[in-house]
């Protein structure tokens, strides 16, 4: 793995760049203060959404802050839980099934109870509602990222681990020097699509209603929801433009520079290649403030990852006798933690059974029929999405120039909350003589196909250069090139994309089978529509039963189909294994 680092001090300082950086920092401070002020506002029973375009910058700031706060906790959760599951075989037996169950629960399965609990915990301010929005966005981001990073840890070449043990790397140096560089490309690609997944339900999380109760917070999602309800086309167009500006700015200022930086961690045997650099990083290198910040962070990083010296080794040897005591204490803490988790699960199970006793037999039959219909739509959406995302993802991953040209458009399409434009797409479907029964399939695809595209692109971009050279030397072309080289190379990423896309598709049925367009409601027959209808009417027993069935279906398919495919792909198609 070749790594070439650019020296930020090698570029001449430019006072204009310093001025822009300073203005950006000042804007960040004032924006943070504005967001904190909104969170501290008294709790209102109903928030009036201003549909004038002048209110959109503030609403965009609020939605942007919620998305990135959720992403911070998603990234922290990903690194901790994925590493814990990989290194602790006992915990893995509980963590992986728990993640499967949690990712299978639709957003509306979390939302009602979470909103009511947090509003009750913070009755005098907006903190409860804001935390509920952040946690809902978190549930749309975190599972995909966690499974991706865990998959990267599993696919790490064995010689890397051997070198880690040979050099006696501690947990931090092993993470910083070995594990994160190996998994960073997949993590960034999945962070991009996870951010899109979190924003997919923005209009639901920011304008949530439970029966007659209104739990609305200001943001672009609630703005678009209010504009659609009022039939204000001008406000809808302004909302789409504002959301587009946020997405493009985040892509150009954050994701594209990170993606370019991550390419220097490709696993290959060709040392000395200059990694690609984004224009933004080269431009920021002219700032004296950024140069000093880079030097400061470099010194901190060097101290954190410096090799162990002899005194440290002697100290470790002197304290080795305390390891059994620490291990015993760790086992005691671990058992206490598991005991608390089991007690919480027991209480939740009792409450679940009490709710399910109120579900009638006719409701169970309706849930069963609707589940079968939604299963057909989910399968069709994933299959149709694969037809174009597989070749497109391989092309993007293998061609950095093509990736740089298409990245803004793909990121915009993937990150844009599709439910905001569902009424327009539905109007087009109806104008063509269709109905929501079939039109819900393309609506589901808008929220799921990007998982396949980004995972395939990440897998293709990580193909070692020596493998690409071997394919060129053997002159593989046509079907032989796909069957012998490309499909095996991207198989682990493709299966991971299928898993997350299928889970996202079941979630997307909630908004794709139950669409509000102005004063009209379009409803298809399916499990997602049933969940949305039960939420609107406040029918908690029926909602619980439908969510439970959806979770059972998703977990069952994961265990019987996807996990076997993933194990096969990891066993036969991993580099260095």
In the block, tokens 């053997």 appear at 474
Structural domain contains residue 32: yes
**With bands split at pLDDT 50, 70 and 90, how would you rate the model's confidence at 291?**
low
Q: Which residues 6+ apart lie within 8 Å of 551 measured at CB?
A: 101, 104, 105, 109
Could you report the per-residue pLDDT of 182-217, keeping only the tens digit for each? 888 878 878 887 887 777 777 778 877 766 667 788
Residue 300 has pLDDT above 70, yes or no: no
Residue 321 has pLDDT above 50, yes or no: no
Residue 75 has pLDDT above 80, yes or no: yes
Could you report the per-residue pLDDT of 512-532, keeping only the tens digit for each? 898 877 678 888 999 989 988
Share of the chain above pLDDT 90, in %: 8
pLDDT of residue 448: 84
Could you report the per-residue pLDDT of 358-395, keeping only the tens digit for each? 888 899 999 999 999 999 999 999 999 999 999 998 88
Structural domain contains residue 264: yes
pLDDT of residue 264: 75
Dig out the tokens for 224 from the structure.
């678009």
Give CA–CA dist 238/233, Å, rounded: 9
pLDDT of residue 183: 83
Phi, psi of 296 (to 5 degrees): -65, -45
Share of the chain above pLDDT 70, in %: 81
Residue 238 has pLDDT above 80, yes or no: yes
Decide if 404 contacts 227 (C-beta within 8 A).
no
Cα distances (Å, whole numbers) of residue 430 to 116, 438, 440: 37, 10, 11
Picking from 448, 459, 449, the residue whose alpha carbon sits closest to that of residue 494 is 459
In the block, tokens 């499990």 appear at 527
SS3 (DSSP) at 156: coil
The count of domains in the chain is 1
Give CA–CA dist 98/131, Å, rounded: 22
Picking from 351, 576, 309, the residue whose alpha carbon sits closest to that of residue 467 is 576
Q: Which CATH number covers residue 375?
A: 1.10.3720.10
Structural domain contains residue 302: no
Full residue range of the structural domain in which residue 504 is found: 15-289+351-573
Structural domain contains residue 410: yes
With vertex at residue 274, the alpha carbon angle to CA 269 and CA 280, rounded to the nearest 5 degrees, is 135
pLDDT of residue 40: 77
Decide if 128 contacts 118 (C-beta within 8 A).
yes
Give CA–CA dist 293/280, Å, rounded: 16
Structural domain contains residue 564: yes
Weakest mean pLDDT among 226-235, 316-325, 334-343? 316-325
Structural domain contains residue 341: no
Structural domain contains residue 455: yes
Residue 464 has pLDDT above 50, yes or no: yes
Q: Which residues 6+ apart lie within 8 Å of 293 measured at CB?
A: none
Picking from 299, 300, 307, 75, the residue whose alpha carbon sits closest to that of residue 188 is 75
pLDDT of residue 72: 93
pLDDT of residue 169: 74
Structural domain contains residue 320: no
Phi, psi of 136 (to 5 degrees): -70, -40
């Amino acid at each position: 793995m070749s790594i070439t680092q650019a020296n930020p001090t090698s570029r001449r300082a430019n006072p204009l760049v310093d001025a822009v950086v300073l203005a950006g920092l000042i804007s960040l401070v004032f924006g943070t203060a504005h967001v904190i002020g909104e969170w501290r506002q008294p709790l209102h029973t109903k928030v009036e959404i201003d549909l004038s375009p002048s209110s959109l910058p503030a609403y965009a700031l609020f939605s942007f802050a919620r998305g990135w706060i959720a992403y911070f906790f998603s990234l922290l959760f990903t690194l901790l839980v994925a590493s814990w599951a990989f290194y602790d075989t006992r915990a893995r037996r509980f963590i992986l099934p728990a993640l499967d169950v949690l990712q299978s629960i639709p957003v509306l399965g979390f939302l009602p109870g979470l909103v009511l609990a947090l509003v009750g915990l913070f009755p005098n301010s907006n903190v409860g509602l804001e935390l509920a929005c952040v946690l809902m966005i978190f549930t749309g981001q975190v599972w995909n990222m966690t499974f991706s990073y865990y998959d990267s840890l599993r696919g790490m070449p064995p010689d890397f681990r051997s070198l880690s043990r040979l050099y006696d790397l501690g947990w931090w140096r092993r993470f910083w020097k070995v594990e994160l560089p190996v998994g960073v490309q997949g993590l960034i690609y999945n962070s991009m699509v996870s951010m899109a997944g979190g924003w997919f339900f923005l209009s639901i999380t920011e304008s949530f209603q439970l029966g007659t109760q209104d739990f609305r917070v200001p943001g672009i999602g609630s703005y678009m929801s209010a504009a659609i309800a009022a039939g204000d086309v001008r406000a809808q167009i302004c909302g789409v433009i504002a959301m587009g500006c946020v997405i493009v700015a985040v892509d150009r200022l954050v994701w594209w520079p990170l993606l370019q930086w991550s390419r220097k961690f490709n696993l290959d045997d060709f040392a000395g290649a200059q990694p690609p650099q984004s224009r933004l990083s080269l431009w920021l290198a002219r700032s004296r403030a950024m140069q000093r910040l880079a030097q400061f962070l470099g010194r901190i990083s060097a101290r954190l990852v410096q090799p162990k010296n002899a005194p440290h080794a002697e100290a470790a040897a002197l304290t080795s006798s305390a390891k059994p005591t620490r291990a015993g204490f760790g086992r005691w803490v671990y058992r206490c933690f598991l005991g608390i988790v089991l007690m919480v699960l027991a209480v939740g199970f009792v409450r679940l059974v009490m709710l399910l006793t109120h579900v009638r037999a006719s409701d169970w039959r309706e849930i069963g029929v609707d589940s079968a219909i939604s299963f057909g739509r989910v399968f069709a959406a994933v299959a149709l999405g694969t037809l174009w995302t597989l070749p497109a993802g391989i092309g993007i991953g293998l061609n950095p120039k093509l990736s740089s040209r298409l990245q803004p458009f793909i990121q915009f399409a993937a990150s844009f909350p599709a439910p905001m434009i569902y009424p327009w797409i539905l109007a087009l479907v109806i104008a063509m003589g269709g109905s929501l029964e079939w039109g819900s399939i393309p609506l589901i695809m808008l929220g799921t196909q990007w998982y396949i595209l980004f995972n395939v692109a990440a897998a293709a971009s990580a193909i070692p250069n020596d493998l690409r050279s071997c394919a060129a030397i053997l002159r593989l072309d046509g079907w032989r090139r796909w069957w012998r080289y490309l499909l095996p190379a991207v198989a682990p990423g493709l299966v991971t994309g299928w898993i997350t896309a299928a889970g996202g598709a079941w979630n997307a049925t909630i908004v794709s089978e139950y669409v509000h367009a102005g004063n009209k409601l379009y409803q298809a027959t399916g499990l997602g529509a049933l969940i949305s209808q039960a939420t609107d009417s406040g029918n908690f027993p029926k909602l619980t039963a439908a969510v439970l069935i959806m979770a059972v279906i998703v977990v069952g398919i994961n265990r019987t189909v996807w996990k076997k495919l993933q194990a096969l792909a990891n066993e036969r198609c991993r580099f260095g294994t």
